[in-house]
């Protein structure tokens, strides 16, 4: 066989292996990297959506909490994983947008190192404080934090996380720089808030509904134009007198770059099916999340969202003069 024929045969073989792998996929469990601790929003959303996707795909989505550095440790791990569909990641506004401005030496580029699978949930941000925080509404909260800045602690899930980035915006609006206390996720940060070990936090709604309604913490305002059906009594930031603070986060699935397109398509289809499932929707809605429909679904919409969120948050972070390196 001459060289040309050999090269052609090798190409044919590679193509056949590629499509056979895609057809058989998934032949074993899939690792879903959650870059934050168990019990927080990213973990909870992953478990809800993963339950249904596992049924569709016929293989378990096994959650691996790979924590650290505001979610960038797990995201770096996902970037370096084999692009074979057996490792995917639940990223979010922090890991796949805000991290770009916060980490000048970020080990991955959210736009070019991943294959977008799809948006899973929109998650409005709520301003929270410990239950005994001495302020009855958002105006008093802002005044109290300003007057007592030196002794106030703000909890977050690490530089680059949603809680860090959105409270950065809140702090710049209030004109304060409190002490910040990092956790490996807002699951553990919430425990500290419930235990009154920290003073306040900005978090994705899915972590907070039962804590606020049960009186374990205070919820001062939701940073969206409309109130949320899961938290009817919590006013919007506009109603509460701080309309500049608008912040809504999101969680989304990504695969490492070069994961074969037919495999990514299968995962996207399983995600779509989960987002249409009545019980899955109910579970997500009860936690206050906003379920993407039609044009907000799928790979292209997520690619656009990542670029627009990098463009939106980078100037906010630069203006606050914060950097992790
Ligand atoms: N909500 C968290 C954040 O602040 C992360 C988590 O899901 O635990 O980014």
Which pLDDT tens digit goes with each residue over 168-225?
A: 999 999 999 999 999 999 999 999 999 999 999 999 999 999 999 999 999 999 999 9
Mean pLDDT for 302-311 is 97
289 Cα to the center of ligand 1, angstroms: 14
- Give all domains of the chain, ordered by start, each with its CATH number: 30-122+250-320 (3.40.190.150), 125-231 (3.40.190.10)
* Model pLDDT for residues 37-59, shown as the tens digit of each residue: 999 999 999 999 999 999 999 99
pLDDT value at position 15?
A: 60
Confidence of residue 316 (pLDDT cuts 50, 70, 90): confident
Provide the CB-side half-sphere exposure for 175 (13 A, CA).
Answer: 4
Query: Taking CB atoms and a 6 Å cutoff, what residues make up the pocket around ligand 1?
Result: 36-37, 40-42, 94, 157, 161-163, 185-187, 203-204
Mutate to test the pocket of ligand 1, among 33, 67, 68, 71 (most ligand atoms within 8 A of CB): 71
Tell me, in angstroms, the distance from the centre of ligand 1 to residue 4's CA.
Answer: 53
Tell me the two tokens of residue 125: 């941000």
Give the DSSP letter of residue 116.
Answer: E
Q: What is the dihedral of CA 319, 99, 142, 286, to 10 degrees?
A: 140
Q: Which atom of ligand 1 is nearest to the CA of 165?
A: 4
Q: Does 122 score more than 90 pLDDT?
A: yes
Helix H or strand E segment including 42: helix 41-57
Tens digits of per-residue pLDDT, 65-113? Answer: 999 999 999 999 999 999 999 999 999 999 999 999 999 999 999 999 9
**What pLDDT score does 320 carry?**
78
Q: What is the pTM of this model?
A: 0.93
Q: Which residue has the tokens 């206050």?
A: 288
Task: Indicate the top mutation candidate among 161, 182, 288 to test ligand 1's pocket, ranked by most ligand atoms within 8 A of CB.
Answer: 161
* CA 36–ligand 1 middle distance (angstroms): 6
Q: Which atom of ligand 1 is nearest to the CA of 185?
A: 8
Model confidence at 20: pLDDT above 80: no
Rounded-to-integer distance, Cα 272 and Cα 270, Å:
5
User: Using the 8-state DSSP alphabet, how is residue 303 labeled?
Assistant: H
């Amino acid at each position: 066989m001459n060289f040309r024929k050999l090269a052609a045969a090798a190409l044919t073989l590679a193509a056949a292996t590629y499509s056979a792998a895609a057809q058989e996929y998934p032949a074993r469990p899939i690792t879903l990297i959650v870059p934050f601790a168990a019990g927080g929003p990213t973990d909870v959303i992953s478990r809800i959506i993963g339950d249904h996707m596992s049924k569709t795909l016929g293989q378990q989505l096994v959650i691996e909490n790979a924590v650290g550095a505001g979610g960038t440790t797990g995201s770096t791990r996902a970037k370096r994983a084999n692009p074979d569909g057996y490792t995917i990641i639940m990223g979010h506004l922090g890991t796949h947008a805000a991290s770009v401005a916060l980490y000048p030496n970020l080990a991955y580029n959210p736009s070019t190192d991943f294959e977008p699978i799809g948006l899973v949930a929109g998650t409005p941000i709520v301003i929270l404080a410990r239950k005994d925080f001495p302020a009855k509404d958002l105006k008093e909260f802002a005044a109290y934090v300003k007057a007592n800045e030196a002794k106030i602690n703000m909890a977050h899930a690490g530089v680059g996380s949603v809680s860090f980035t959105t409270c950065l915006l809140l702090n710049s609006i209030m004109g304060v720089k409190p002490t910040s206390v990092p956790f490996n996720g807002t699951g553990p940060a919430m425990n500290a808030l419930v235990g009154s070990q920290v003073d306040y936090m900005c978090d994705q709604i899915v972590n907070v509904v039962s804590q606020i309604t049960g009186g374990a913490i205070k919820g001062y305002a939701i940073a969206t134009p409309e109130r949320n059906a899961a938290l009817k009594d919590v006013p919007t930031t506009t109603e509460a007198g701080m309309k500049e603070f608008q912040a809504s986060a999101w969680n989304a699935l990504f695969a490492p770059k070069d994961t074969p397109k037919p495999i990514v398509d299968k995962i996207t289809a399983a995600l779509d099916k989960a987002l249409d499932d009545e019980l899955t929707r109910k579970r997500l809605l009860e936690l206050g999340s906003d379920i993407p429909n039609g044009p907000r679904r799928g790979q292209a919409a997520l690619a656009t969202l990542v670029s627009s969120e990098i463009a939106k948050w980078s100037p906010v972070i630069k203006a606050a003069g914060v950097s992790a390196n």
